[in-house]
Amino acid sequence: MRVAVLGECMVEIRHLDAEFARFSFGGDVLNTAIYLTRLGFPTRFVTALGDDRYSERMLAAWSYEGVKTDAVRIVPGRLPGMYVIETSPDGERRFLYWRTDSPARDVFTAANAEETTKALIDTDVLFLSGITLSLYGEAGLWRLFAALKMAHRKGVKIVFDTNFRPRNWPDLSIARAAFAELADVVDIVLAGDEDTLHLFGGNDAEAALRDWLDFESTEVVLKCGSRDCRIWADGATFAAAPERVDKVVDTTAAGDSFAAAYLAARLHGAAPDVAARAGHRLAAVVICHPGAIIPKSAMPSLVLAAS
């Protein structure tokens, strides 16, 4: 089973205290790619980097994890984006970004769109996010949608994590139009209730999702924080309670790791509620560690046991 993700990785600067910080790398679809790879699905990352030493370190780190890098475009003279994370005592995060010149934003320019489209079609499963959509600008988005429609026609399963960040969009109406364009090509949607309400408004996340998606043809997962996750798939409704966590250290990559375990379990043939429990199981471990990627030694051994 060939799996690919589309998006961006950035240099991450995480405050350790008021004076000191730690450098690493991060990005939502990268986090999902690493966890998918650890769960037995070596994943190709479709993106672009510069030719600087930070980009070289990223490639080395991805290769070490087993993430496939053959679809990474190297753009001479460019630098990857960067962001700073400040984490509050209760584990919540604040982000500051420097990413307007990131080479990942140019994979759907006219010169690069054909090469990127080939990479997206040459897979069995393609994963992307709302953050992915926010990267490309109007012209790039329409080339992306054309690529997704082509991939969908060829039988590629398209998985979308809403991961909506208002600050990444120039206008809410543009975001809504971009999300609406996906409705006919996505096979699985992983949505957060807060994301959904921020994007579509109202006070009922399920109703908003039903207005956007055809639940008969799309598998829909609605994550609701500490409340039961709900899933609509195969003409039925499922629910899965989250794992109890005594002390949250850092919520970074909670949704990304859930997505990886859910998708891995479904690709193994697990039922939707079993897959959601796998997602909760991995996310519960991830949020007990600082940073997006936990040590390999901390990976729970029974994530996919029920599947």
Among residues 176, 263, 175, 255, the alpha carbon closest in space to that of 219 is found at: 263
- Apex 281 CA angle, 275 and 284, nearest 5: 140
Cβ neighbours of residue 18 closer than 8 Å, sequence gap 6 or more: none
Output b/e per residue, 45-55; b: 16+ Cβ within 10 A.
bbbbbbeeeeb
Exposed (0-12), middle (13-18) or buried (19+): which is 215, by Cβ within 10 Å? Answer: middle
Report residue 261 as tokens: 């375990």
70 is catalytic: no
Phi, psi (degrees; rounded to nearest 5) at 262? -60, -50
Q: Find the catalytic residue in 161, 195, 256, 273.
A: 256
Parallel, antiparallel, or unpaired for β 93-98 and 21-26?
A: unpaired
With both helix axes pointing from N to C terminus, report the angle between 254-267 and 272-286 in degrees, rounded to the nearest 10.
150
Report the alpha-carbon distance of residue 280 to residue 254 in Å, rounded. Answer: 9
**E strands within the chain?**
3-6, 10-15, 21-26, 43-49, 72-74, 82-87, 93-98, 125-129, 157-161, 188-192, 219-224, 227-233, 236-240
Give the catalytic positions in this structure: 256
